[in-house]
Structure 1
Amino acid sequence: MCAVAAPFVLGTALRVRERVTAARVEAGRRALDVAGLVAARLDDRARDAGTVIADAFRGARLPDGATITILDAQGVVLGHGPRGEELVGRRMPNLAALPDAGRREAIEVVGSDGAPWLAAFATAPATGWRVRVAVPRRAADAAVRGEVARDVLLTAAALALALGLAAVVGRRVVGSLDSTFDEMAATIDARTAALRRIEQRYQLLFEACPLPLFLSEFATHRILAVNDAACAEYGYTREEFTHLTLLDLRPAEERLRFLAVSRALTEAQGFRERSSTGVWRHRHKDGSIAEVEVFTVITEFEGQPVRLSVSLDVTARRRAERALQESQDQLRRAQKMEALGRFAGGIAHDFNNLLTGILGYCDLALSDEGLPSETREDFSAIRDAAQRAAGLTGRILAFSRGRVMQPVALDVNDVVEGLQPMLGRMIGEHIRLESDLSPSAGTVLADSGQVEQVVLNLALNARDAMPDGGVLSISTSDVHVEHDDAHHPDVPPGRWTVLEVRDTGVGMDAETQTHIFEPFFTTKDRARGTGLGLATVYAIVQQGGGAVRVWSAPGAGSRFAVYLPRVDEPAEERRTPPAPQLAVGGDETILLVEDEEAVRAIARETLIRRGYRVITAADGPSAIEVARRHPEIDLLLTDVVMPGMSGRELAELLARDRHALKVLFMTGYTEDEVLHRGVSSDDVALLAKPFTPDTLCAEVRAVLDAEQPSAV
């Protein structure tokens, strides 16, 4: 009998449930319709909310106990009916946080009396006011209460009959069933508690993670959940995050890459393939961009594939890595320049020795008045070629850490103005020369010859960039650079005199700009360029403690800015060099020490022709032996750099016994190498190679005529 009654009871229960559910859905639908009608009638703020509510109750069939509430965006009650006028004007925070007004179904809420209510919501489009229509659930159920009561009575009668017939048989079974049901209930409670603990544990891990966590739909990329760290770092609230997708967090240029990675994850198999790690650029709510390292794994959540991602802000680390890489690149470039500079300096030294001999013999030959005219022209051509070669070695020496410098307080404007006539002839008539020299450009401490070389090299470079003509502009200005000045990156803070050279030529691409200061790099035909012009500019400026910046683009010309440290000293007056005079000879005894035979020979011949008595030696030890046999030596003329013993060491040894001995040093090396050998142009007489016979004789005479012996 129980088996027969059980299906009947179950069917009755299902019918009751269906009727109650249908009644509640109908009540909710009616409440939703009324909410929509009320919202539509609130077409302006002038309409009285109470009147609208009253009209709604007259025109709508709402169950007993239903209420209509109208609130503004701040949760202030504007109307409440059919009763409750005392609520108008009060702020009700529990009603201000209404669910999305776009919902198309009523929801169940708990009233202030603790009873369940069915609530529907709508928003007035014109005013933004919110409407809530609430129906007591018991009122919705009342519509089917009679039918439910009838079904329950019939079911109860059938059940009583079945139980009465089974009473005798089921007494023993009932006790067993009670025990079984108790065990099942306990098991279910235990498993529910365990699941709740697991859920709480993982919720705690998700929220307590110090790194931003994102849970998003895999197919649509819509963000489902985030933790507090994500809100703090990105600036969005949880509600705002749920209206975003992962694409919204990325700049436009990274979205295609993100979609490509997503497609690869879709096709992947296995955990390693279904996860990814990469560095991305993410946009925060305030618009700032951060570099983040993101680890993502694809898993399932509520039966759907989702993406769980954790992000780590690596902006500072990446900036430091780039700075380190740039420093390493600069170090490699500096080491390369160092090696090339030493190599080039050695070559220049050898060339200077050779050119000294060539220029000397040419001058000696040209001094012969009986030289045939054709032979004189030949020697003049040789001498001109040697002079050009000397200019080339001078540029090599400047690049390889500079020749011997003579820095003075210098007005850069004076240098540029003095060069303008030469520049006009040099660049040609097809290029217009313009200048804009600021009176406040200031004074720098530099070698005037080297500043002239910087201007000339930049002008020549600009000329070659404008084969079809254009404009060459030279300007000066006074610039004060602050710490981390964005307008002058890579320039140390302080006051600078800036010399700018601009052209309207062909310009350079970014790749070319990375190499322009490298020695022997050139984009010109080998017949027109040596690749040393800009390298020399860079070396001179760096040697003087300055900096060079470049702006250029193909077809847009080029601009070079040379930053020279400014000094608070008045500029020295630029003197016009005196007209060359024939060097006077003498009858003094000179000890000539030079390891290069060609230089030794031409210097000896030149001095003998001017009346001097010359004793020669090829190195320091030989010179000491010769000096012991000739106590009458008046002047030591020695090379600085020699094998075995330097010129400085030789001079110090000889000066111990000859306090009146005068010394003139010769060198074809760079200033750094000379200083390394203990010789400075500030405290000794120094003659740079290559030199001409007249220059040699003039320097020798000046040292011999000096009242005090030259310092050693």
Structure 2
Amino acid sequence: MSEHASKILKIQNDLSCRLGRTSSLTEALQLCVEAGMEAAGMELGGIYLVNREGGIDMLCHKGLPEEFVRAVSHFDKDAPRMKILMQGNPIFFSANNNPLPESVNASGAEYYKALAVIPFKHNGEVIGCMNIGTAASEEISGIAAQALETIGNQIGDILARVRAQEQLRESEEKFSAICRSAQNAVIMMDARGRVSFWNNAAETMFGYSETEAAGRDLHDLIASGEQRQAFRRAFSSFRETGRGSFTGKTVELAAVRKNGEEFPAELTLTQIRLKGEWNASGIVRDISQRKREEAEKQNLQQQLQQAQKMEAIGTLAGGIAHDFNNIIAAINGTAEMMLKSKHPESPDFVRLERIIKSGLRARDLSMKLLTFARKEKLQARTVALDAVIADLTDMLRGTISRGIAIRTRATEPGLHIHADTNQILQALLNICLNACEAMPEGGAVVIETGRAAVGSGEALEACARPGAYCVVSIKDSGHGMDETALRKIFDPFFTTKEPGKGTGLGLSVTHGIVHEHNGFISVQSAPGQGTAFRVFLPEAAPCEEPDADPQRAAARGFGKGAILVIDDDTDFNGMIAEALESEGYDVIATHSGPQALEAFKTNMEIIDAVILDMILPDMDGTAIFRALKELRPDATVILCSGHSQKGKAAALLEQGAAAYIQKPFLLSEIFEAVQRVVHPSGTDE
């Protein structure tokens, strides 16, 4: 064997050994170009590899000037020289030999005198080429050409293997980086149901480290008891067929953390065939936050539906109360007038008292309906919360069983609210009476007041405004309520009492009153554990206004003056006219707006006061009131109605109405109101 042949063989052997030890494509290319340069005895070299687009890129070079490398670093697949290269034959350039067509420019020819382009192949396809050149000689010897071809034939398969290994390694690194940085848990399960991959998000979600999870049964690790069995049954089929009830789908499950805590999760499973066996990959999402948001949304929708239902029923109740109150007012007023003429020993006296008593009970029921429907607070003012609670306890002690103790506690004395005292008392009394009825064998009602700061989250849930609230807590030791009853306690006409023992309006009225005072109510209860109501009312700054309502002066003597009555109810008109006339007043009764205005124009100088119903079919109370004031700005108007639409009565009081009387009323109330506005000094003169 010649010395040159021995040299070439040694270069080949050394190259094979070095390529076998490297897994780096860059290092392998460098070894190949250096071996080619050594074998050919040339000082310039570079290696191109075919890229995915079919062009070639220079990935390694030695001895070449940078400007030359920039000029020849890439050729597209459509370049003319590419067509020649892809034929797979070696190409040799020299000063006397340029095999390229004249149309193809020999780029960089100024940097070398001789150049060999040696393609290398894998599975019969060209995958790149090795370019070895020199600026020292104008020809490439036959020995050098043969040596380069020998090395070219050697390195094709090796470079393809190294390149494939590097691409695989890069792919694995990318996969690992993507999976480990994913926000959702990425898990793989082998053919035996054991964990084979467990990313960082899985560690965070389930509490097991990758080391703890690896090799463990996946079903035992993440699924709750019932679903664990379902997964096991599905897995048996999956092992055989690659199909199961959970594969290729997104399902919800109750997952379990390392500490035993269950949480809602969403699982997407995909089957993977590895080494002839079915494996599975899964993406697990913790949907706890989504479930909370869905629950909050559902809660808000329920609150909206409840509010709409309450508003609809309130409108209906208000209309019923208006008509009902007119009827009661006529019945009670007529009975009161008849009672005046009867001796207390007369059977008719007792009968009339019974009518009046029943009428008052009907009035109480009607007032509950009206309070439920009402959208305004006619007598709202700043009051001390302690005084309200004192009045409440006085009322309770006079009505409840002696076996029930009333206990009060003020954690922060001196709190004030802006409220209609009577309405708030009614709201709190309704809760307290319900509490007492829940303790038929006795117990305790604890009434506690304090202050609370309501944040935006709690306020949003309660459909209220964030800020400072006074809180009245009412707790009982009664039998409590289940969740079904809790959801319905504020529904109109819902009651847990026996038939005939409740109307189901008490807590509906309470809810309406508190809501109209810009407050809200929270309730906690469980069977056998009693019930706790917390009534939140916006805190108000104290003022100099006295807390107690001023006592009205009782009507004295007989009346004197002319009264215009405007009401579309004929029976009411007849009753009120008769009652006022019995007190000495002259009465002009009218049934419509136009009739009333005409009567007022005719008798403007002698009319001392007007009793005006707020709702008439042809012309409402507001329009009549304004027309009266236009005719005579100092006209004295007493508003009187069985139902007042939102804000109208309050607005008219601010615009100069003298008083408001709620139907149905006792005759003494209307006598007092008329006496007060017609004769403010208390005399008839």
User: TM-score scaled to structure 2, two decimals?
Assistant: 0.68
| Alpha-carbon spacing, 1:663–1:405, altered in 2? closer, same or farther (3 Å) | closer
- Corresponding position of 2:664: 690
In 2: Cα distance, 1:266 partner to 1:497 partner: 62
1:599 matched residue in structure 2: 572
The residue aligned with 2:362 is 389
**Match of 1:467?**
440
Separation in structure 2 between the aligned mates of residue 437 and residue 675 of structure 1, nearest angstrom: 35
| In the alignment, structure 1 residue 660 sits paired with structure 2 residue 630 | no
Give the whole-Å Cα distance in 2 for the aligned partners of 1:235 and 1:371: 85
CA deviations 1:238-276 (Å, max 9, x no partner) are 4344265545764x8x34324313423533667574333
* Aligned amino acid, residue 465 of structure 1: A
The equivalent position to 2:529 in structure 1, one of 551, 556, 563, is 556
Residues 554-576 of structure 1: CA deviation (Å, up to 9, x unaligned): 01111111112111214754447
Secondary structure of the residue that 2:573 maps to in structure 1? helix
Distance 1:501 1:212, change over 3 A: closer
* 1:404 shift after superposition: 4.6
Cα 1:425–1:588, aligned 2, differ >3 Å: closer, same or farther?
closer
Contact conserved, 1:583 with 1:697, CA < 8 A, in 2? Answer: no
Paired amino acid for 1:703? V
Aligned AA (1:256): E
Q: What is the Cα deviation at residue 188 of structure 1?
A: 9.9
What is the CA distance between 1:552 and its match in structure 2? 0.8
Secondary structure in 1 aligned to 2:273?
A: strand
Q: How does 1:571-590 map to 2 (within 5 A)?
A: 572-575=545-548, 578=551, 581-590=554-563
Letter aligned with residue 628 of structure 2: L
- In structure 2, how many angstroms separate the alpha carbons of the residues matched to 1:264 and 1:585? 94
SS of 1:634's partner is strand
Q: Using structure 1 for the length normalisation, give the TM-score.
A: 0.66
Matched-pair contact (CA < 8 Å) for 2:237–2:244:
no
Instruction: Provide the alpha-carbon RMSD of the alignment.
Output: 3.5
Decide whether aligned partners of structure 1 residues 428 and 355 sit closer, same or farther in structure 2, where only a CA change above 3 A counts: same
Q: Deviations over 1:36-62 (max 9, x none)?
A: xxxxxxxxxxxxxxxxxxxxxxxxxxx
Report the counterpart of residue 230 of structure 2 in structure 1: 260
| Counterpart code for 1:263 | R
Query: Any residues of structure 2 matched to 1:66-77 within 5 Å, and which?
Result: none
Q: Residues of 2 paired with 1:542 and 1:196: CA distance? A: 71
**Is structure 2 residue 518 aligned with structure 1 residue 540?**
no
Code of the aligned partner of 1:621: P
Q: Residue 42 of structure 2 aligns with which residue?
A: none
Is the contact made by 1:517 and 1:538 (CA closer than 8 Å) also made in structure 2? yes
For the 8 Å contact 2:468–2:538, the answer to whether it is kept is yes
Q: Which runs of 5+ in 2 are unaligned?
A: 1-151
Q: 2:194 aligns with which of 195, 210, 222?
A: 222
Deviations for 1:493-519, whole angstroms, at most 9, x for unmatched residues?
432221111111111011110110111
Q: Contact 1:400–1:670 (CA<8 Å) still a contact in 2?
A: no
| Structure 1 residues 327 and 194, CA gap change in structure 2 (3 angstroms) | same
C-alpha displacement of 1:191 = 7.9
CA gap of 1:468–1:478, structure 2 versus 1, over 3 A, is same
Structure 1 residue aligned with 2:415, among 430, 442, 452? 442
Q: How do 1:70-85 and structure 2 match up within 5 A?
A: none
2:347 is aligned to: 374
Deviations 1:628-658 (A, max 9, x none): 4334333222111111211221122233232
Task: Name the structure 2 match of 1:129.
Answer: none
Distance 2:266 2:346 in 1: 81
The CA distance in 1 between the partners of 2:445 and 2:374, in whole Å, is 29
| 2:308 match | 335
Structure 2 distance, partners of 1:584, 1:249, is 91
* Residue identity opposite 1:446 in structure 2: A
Structure 2 residue corresponding to 1:700, chosen from 662, 674, 678: 674
| Aligned residues of 1:419 and 1:452 also touching (Cα < 8 A) | yes
Change (3 A) 1:401 1:637: closer
Q: Distance in 2 between matches of 1:561 and 1:659?
A: 47
Q: State the partner residue of 2:115.
A: none
1:112 is aligned to none
Look up the equivalent residue of 2:214 and give its one-letter code. Answer: T
Provide closer, same or farther for how the CA distance between residues 402 and 429 of structure 1 changes in structure 2, counting only shifts above 3 A. Answer: farther
Matches of 1:682 and 1:249, distance apart in 2: 74
Offset from partner CA, 1:177-229 (integer Å, 9 cap, x none): xxxxx999978986896587467546634542545453433576432113466
1:567 maps to which of 521, 535, 540: 540
Q: CA deviation at 1:484?
A: 4.4
Match of 2:275 in 1: 302
What are the residue-to-residue correspondences of 1:155-166 with 2, within 5 Å? none
Is residue 180 of structure 2 the alignment partner of residue 239 of structure 1?
Answer: no
Q: Report the counterpart of residue 600 of structure 2 in structure 1.
A: 627
Displacement after TM superposition at 1:482 (Å): 4.5
In 1, distance between residues paired with 2:653 and 2:194? 74
When residues 489 and 543 of structure 1 are mapped into structure 2, their CA distance, relative to the original with a 3 A threshold, is: closer
Sort the Cα spacing of 1:203 and 1:578 in 2 relative to 1 into closer, same or farther, 3 A. closer
Query: Contact between 1:436 and 1:475, CA under 8 Å: does it hold in 2?
Result: yes
Return 459-468 or 214-223, whichever deviates more.
Answer: 214-223
Greater mean deviation of Cα atoms: 277-286 or 493-502: 277-286
Q: Deviations over 1:507-550 (max 9, x none)?
A: 10111101101110011112111111111111111111112111
Structure 1 counterpart of 2:678, which letter? L
Q: Aligned pair 1:353/2:323, yes or no?
A: no
Alpha-carbon spacing, 1:186–1:341, altered in 2? closer, same or farther (3 Å)? same
Name the aligned partner's letter for residue 664 of structure 2.
P
SS of the residue aligned with 2:433?
Answer: helix
* Partner residue, 1:647: 621
Shift of 1:695: 1.3
* 1:311 matches 2:284: yes
Q: Report if the CA contact (8 A) 1:583-1:694 is conserved.
A: no
Q: Distance in 1 between matches of 2:191 and 2:348?
A: 92
- Look up the match of 1:108: none
Query: 1:459-497: per-residue Cα shift (whole Å, max 9, x none)?
Result: 2101111122222222222333445479x9877543222
- In structure 1, what residue type is equivalent to 2:178? A
Q: Which amino acid aligns with 1:325?
A: Q
**Is the CA contact (8 Å cut-off) linking 1:640 and 1:648 kept in structure 2?**
yes
Amino acid at match of 1:257: Q
Rate the CA distance shift 1:692–1:292 in 2: closer, same or farther, 3 A: same
Q: Which is further off, 198-207 or 613-622?
A: 198-207
Structure 1 residues 447-468: Cα deviation after superposition (integer angstroms, max 9, x where no partner): 1112221222112101111122
3-state secondary structure, aligned to 1:567: coil
Change over 3 Å in CA distance of 1:693–1:444 after alignment to 2: same
Counterparts in 2 of 1:438 and 1:255: CA distance versus 1, 3 Å: same
- Equivalent residues in 2 for 1:441-520 (5 A)? 442-484=415-457, 492-520=465-493
Whole-Å Cα distance in 2 between the matches of residues 697 and 469 of structure 1?
44
Which one-letter code corresponds to 1:598 in the other structure?
D
Determine helix, strand or coil for the equivalent of 1:514: helix
Residue equivalent to 2:299: 326
Aligned residues: 523
2: CA distance, partners of 1:361 / 1:403: 30
Distance 1:405 1:682, change over 3 A: farther
Q: Distance in 2 between matches of 1:312 and 1:439?
A: 47
Counterpart Cα distance in 2 of 1:436 and 1:231: 51
SS at match of 1:672: coil
Partner in structure 2 of residue 140 of structure 1? none
Contact 2:187 2:283 in 1 (8 A): no
Structure 1, unaligned runs of 5 or more: 1-181, 708-712
1:370 and 1:215 map into 2 onto residues whose CA distance is 95
